Amino acid sequence: APEAGHAGHGRILAVANQKGGVGKTTTAINLATALAAAGKRCLVVDLDPQGNASTGFGVDRNARQVSSYQVMLDQAPLGEAITATEVPGLDLVPATVDLSAVEVELVDDPRRNYRLRDAFQSCETVYDHVLIDCPPSLGLLTVNALVAAHAVMVPLQCEFFALEGLSMLLRTVERVRRTLNPMLEMQGIVLTMYDRRNKLSEQVEADVRSFMGDRVFETVIPRNVRISEAPSHGKPVLLYDVRCAGSQAYASLAGELLKRGRSLADVA
C-alpha cells in the first residue's frame, strides 16, 4: 500500500512549481523554520541542483559531502545525508550541482521515479514534517518528490500567467496521482511576493481564490525586503529578523497548516 512507505516519517510535503523564482525555496526554508519554532521536528530535503535551500541555511559546500545526489543514486542512505542546521529541531539534506546529472544517470533505471520514496522507506526518521524543495521543472527530480510525498504545496507568485502555470502543474499532479502515487494530496496553494499596492496582485488573488477555493491558504506572503536579504546571511528570515512582515507571514502560514491538518481538499 502506498501509505506504508511513508510510515514513520511524519508528513512529507513536496514544495513544487515548475516556474523558477516563485518562492519555493523561500517557502521550504521559512515554513520549516516556523514549524520548528512551533516545536515540530522538521527536515528540509534540498532537491534542486542549485542548492539554494542549502545556502539559505548557511550550510557551506564542505558540509555537503553526502547530499541528495547520493541519496537519489542509492550511494548513501538518507540518514547519512542528514545534517543539522542552526535552527533547533530542523535538519537538512543538502544538494550540490551533481544533482543535475541524476536525470541522465537514471534514464535506464526502471525505478527512477521511486528513488526518493525508496530512500525514505529504507530509513527511519524522527520528523513531524518533511519539506522537499523542488527544482523549477516538472522533470525527474520533481516527479520523485511527488511520488515520495503525502501532499504538494504550491507557492504561486501573483503575476499575469500564474493561473496558466498552475493548470499545468495540477495536470502533472493529477497524472502522478493516477500512475505513481495514488495517495498524493493537494496541501494547498500559497500566494507569494504579494504586493498590496499592485492592482494585479489583487486581481490574481481573486482569480486564484475563485478557481481553487479553499485550497488557497488564507495567509498571503507579502513582498518583503527582509525575506530577500536573509539568504545572503545564511539564515531563514525568522532568524534574521523575527519581527518583519515576512517572518510574521511564515509563522501564520505554519499556524494555518497545523490547524488545517492533513489537507485542504483533494486535487480537482
d(CA 119, CA 122): 5
136 binds ligand ADP (CB under 6 A): yes
**Coil, strand or helix at 73:** coil
52 binds Mg ion (CB under 5 A): yes
Of 253, 244, 252, the closest CA to residue 223 belongs to: 244
d(CA 142, CA 135): 7
Residues 25-84 that bind ligand ADP (CB under 6 A): 25-26, 52
Residue whose grid cell is 512529507: 12
Of 8 and 20, nearer to ligand ADP (C-beta) is 20
Tell me which of ligand ADP, Mg ion, none is bound by residue 182, counting a contact when its beta carbon lies within the kind-specific cut-off of 5 to 8 angstroms.
none
Cβ(184)–Cβ(173) below 8 Å: yes
C-alpha neighbours within 13 Å on the C-beta side of residue 201: 13
Of 114 and 146, nearer to ligand ADP (C-beta) is 146
Residue whose grid cell is 490574481: 204
In angstroms, give the least distance from the CB of 30 to Mg ion: 12
Of 6 and 29, nearer to Mg ion (C-beta) is 29
d(CA 115, CA 112): 6
Q: Which of 24, 64, 150, 235 binds Mg ion (CB under 5 A)?
A: 24
x/- contact string, 218-237, with ligand ADP (CB under 6 A)? ---x-xx--xx--x------
Of 174, 177, 116, the closest CA to residue 145 belongs to: 116
- If residue 198 lies in a helix (H) or strand (E), which one and from where to where? none
Tell me which of Mg ion, ligand ADP, none is bound by residue 122, counting a contact when its beta carbon lies within the kind-specific cut-off of 5 to 8 angstroms.
none
In angstroms, give the least distance from the CB of 222 to ligand ADP: 6
Task: Please give the residue ranges that form the binding site for ligand ADP (CB under 6 A).
Answer: 20-26, 52, 136, 192-193, 221, 223-224, 227-228, 231, 246
Task: Please give the residue ranges that form the binding site for Mg ion (CB under 5 A).
Answer: 24-25, 52
